[in-house]
A and B are shown apart, each in its own frame.
Chain A
């Protein structure tokens, strides 16, 4: 029957696609031509094969594990475009919380980390997994919440604000706090504020009541969640600003030394994992701290959101609490 023949033809076609895929799994999406946009099912399948066979070497890949805030704001995508213009490389960006990113790094599954949790970064570096950390940008955390502010925390220090939420929530059903609850850098920061407010996070805070919600999602999703519940949450200012138009939440606490948020990039130590792409990793990090990129980071989002989402680290190492070398010195080859 004709239909049977069609079926066989389809089967052969799929096999062909599969075989192309075997030779070109890396090349079919990594080559600039294939990532270009004219992709329809047929042409992509057709072009994947010749490329896979004619180009001897695949274009270089650089795997970057990043905190969600750098990705959700669109900054990383903008930087990626600028970097790929001048380098024969495809960046593969895996957005995960800082905790997961560090785990990927520790297992040697990525080449570069872009994270924001100084304490855990220090441990990571001390254990020999990370090298050549550079501070690339900073901004501040803020506690955001509904404009009605049922717990009345506006203008408090972050520690007092969390204490007030903790004390009013059991008697006021409108007071809800949504935590990232995912071991991300933001979650770490939240824990450290609880600690400096005098609470034992695991004993006093985690699972304390219905008002303390562990959302378990990225920054953007957590803000959306908090918005639905009219709840408080801790956010970095960059993600908050980039989501602001869709949110009814307002910043209530945005001043306090503990709210500093420093973003760093670092390489995975090639002595730990000899296959990591350290040359391109170094180029990427050095690209991030050039004056041109720094200026771009400091201006990113101004035209859309009216203010920068991140501040440049260039010239701000004292504010960030890091050494001048860590902010400005390119990594030597």
Chain B
């Protein structure tokens, strides 16, 4: 069952889409979290609260909003990204940004002020300061990335609305499980489910190893 090449293809597509989305989301979120942590402005508390609320952003809602954006009649329709892996990546990026920003922000703001003072007193310039801060909170960031990856790879609502579950193109593990179950192919669904679980375990293992080896 697991030797079926189509299963590999679907699993690889899942990993590819979620890795890409997690990577893009990390690149956006970590600077954003640092900005939030070290700048004060009106409405900041509301934004932070909003971000925490969006941890629970329903995936189907993201699916619907991204669908409306990317549909030919939507504002970004000219890009032709509806029913493509790129569209699904956009959905997952939106899905995990709150988690990455929120967790990084919390970690940075809860650092002991002495750490910050020490870094500054050692004569660090602004970039060196930020890099040192990130180094202090790296474990939390690893964990946040692993969590973001887990949430993105396991979601099905947005993937099916944005991707359309096209065989050989936008079908990923979760949408395939959903389809195969509805078609009564329980064994195949189980096999796909085990692969999904396995991927989650590997990601967790890699992140734990990084932490240990550090």
- CB-contacts of B1-22 with A (<8 A): 5-6, 8-9, 12-13, 15-16, 19-20
- CB-contacts of A282-331 with B (<8 A): none
**Residue A201 is within 8 A (CB to CB) of chain B in the complex:** no
Q: In the complex, are the beta carbons of B165 and A95 less than 8 A apart?
A: yes
Q: In the complex, are the beta carbons of B8 and A39 less than 8 A apart?
A: yes
A77 to B169, CA, bound (A): 14
From the candidates B8, B83, B86, B183, name the one contacting A40 in the complex (CB within 8 A).
Answer: B8
From the candidates A77, A94, A273, name the one contacting B72 in the complex (CB within 8 A).
Answer: A273
Other contacts beyond A72-B183, A109-B71, A246-B184: 7, CB < 8 A: A4-B210, A11-B23, A17-B19, A21-B16, A21-B20, A40-B12, A92-B83
Query: What is the minimal beta-carbon distance from B14 to any residue of chain A, in angstroms?
Result: 11
Interface flags, A8-42, vs B, CB<8A=1, else 0: 00110011011001000110011000010111110
A232 to B8, CA, bound (A): 38
From the candidates B20, B168, B206, name the one contacting A35 in the complex (CB within 8 A).
Answer: B168
**Residue A125 is within 8 A (CB to CB) of chain B in the complex:** no
Query: What is the minimal beta-carbon distance from A195 to any residue of chain B, in angstroms?
Result: 28
Query: What is the minimal beta-carbon distance from B131 to any residue of chain A, in angstroms?
Result: 14
**Residue B166 is within 8 A (CB to CB) of chain A in the complex:** yes
- With an 8 Å Cβ cutoff, the count of chain B residues facing the other chain is 39
Query: What is the minimal beta-carbon distance from A304 to any residue of chain B, in angstroms?
Result: 14
Interface of B is mostly: helix
- Complex contacts, A273 vs chain B, CB 8 Å: 72
Query: What is the minimal beta-carbon distance from B151 to any residue of chain A, in angstroms?
Result: 17
Q: In the complex, are the beta carbons of B210 and A17 less than 8 A apart?
A: no
- Complex contacts, B169 vs chain A, CB 8 Å: 29-30, 90, 92
- Complex contacts, B85 vs chain A, CB 8 Å: 21, 25, 29
**Residue B157 is within 8 A (CB to CB) of chain A in the complex:** no
- Complex contacts, A17 vs chain B, CB 8 Å: 16, 19-20
**Residue B193 is within 8 A (CB to CB) of chain A in the complex:** no
Interface flags, B155-183, vs A, CB<8A=1, else 0: 00000000011111100000000000111
- Complex contacts, B206 vs chain A, CB 8 Å: 10
A217 to B212, CA, bound (A): 46
A273 to B82, CA, bound (A): 15
Q: In the complex, are the beta carbons of A109 and B167 less than 8 A apart?
A: no
Query: What is the minimal beta-carbon distance from B141 to any residue of chain A, in angstroms?
Result: 11
- Complex contacts, A218 vs chain B, CB 8 Å: 182
- Complex contacts, A6 vs chain B, CB 8 Å: 210
**Residue B24 is within 8 A (CB to CB) of chain A in the complex:** yes
- Complex contacts, A44 vs chain B, CB 8 Å: 9, 12, 16
Q: In the complex, are the beta carbons of A220 and B209 less than 8 A apart?
A: no
**Residue B204 is within 8 A (CB to CB) of chain A in the complex:** no
From the candidates A14, A35, A95, A109, name the one contacting B82 in the complex (CB within 8 A).
Answer: A109
Query: What is the minimal beta-carbon distance from B154 to any residue of chain A, in angstroms?
Result: 19
Knowing A4-B213, A107-B72, A246-B184, say if A37 contacts B9 (CB, 8 Å): yes
- CB-contacts of A73-97 with B (<8 A): 77, 90, 92-96
Name which of A40, A72, A109 has the most chain B CB atoms within 10 A of its CB: A109
Residue of A nearest to B182 (CB): A221
A144 to B77, CA, bound (A): 42
**Residue B214 is within 8 A (CB to CB) of chain A in the complex:** yes
Query: What is the minimal beta-carbon distance from B115 to any residue of chain A, in angstroms?
Result: 21
A4 to B6, CA, bound (A): 34
- Complex contacts, A127 vs chain B, CB 8 Å: none
Query: What is the minimal beta-carbon distance from B35 to any residue of chain A, in angstroms?
Result: 22
Query: What is the minimal beta-carbon distance from A84 to any residue of chain B, in angstroms?
Result: 11
Residue of A nearest to B183 (CB): A220
Query: What is the minimal beta-carbon distance from B168 to any residue of chain A, in angstroms?
Result: 5
From the candidates B15, B165, B184, name the one contacting A243 in the complex (CB within 8 A).
Answer: B184
**Residue A126 is within 8 A (CB to CB) of chain B in the complex:** no
- Complex contacts, A39 vs chain B, CB 8 Å: 5, 8-9, 12
Q: In the complex, are the beta carbons of A94 and B164 less than 8 A apart?
A: yes
Q: In the complex, are the beta carbons of B213 and A25 less than 8 A apart?
A: no
Q: In the complex, are the beta carbons of B24 and A18 less than 8 A apart?
A: yes
Knowing A3-B210, A4-B213, say if A217 contacts B182 (CB, 8 Å): yes
Q: In the complex, are the beta carbons of A3 and B214 less than 8 A apart?
A: yes
From the candidates B24, B73, B182, name the one contacting A107 in the complex (CB within 8 A).
Answer: B73
A63 to B13, CA, bound (A): 20
- Complex contacts, A203 vs chain B, CB 8 Å: none
- Complex contacts, A45 vs chain B, CB 8 Å: 16
**Residue A224 is within 8 A (CB to CB) of chain B in the complex:** yes
- Complex contacts, A271 vs chain B, CB 8 Å: none
Q: In the complex, are the beta carbons of B84 and A77 less than 8 A apart?
A: no
Query: What is the minimal beta-carbon distance from A247 to any residue of chain B, in angstroms?
Result: 9
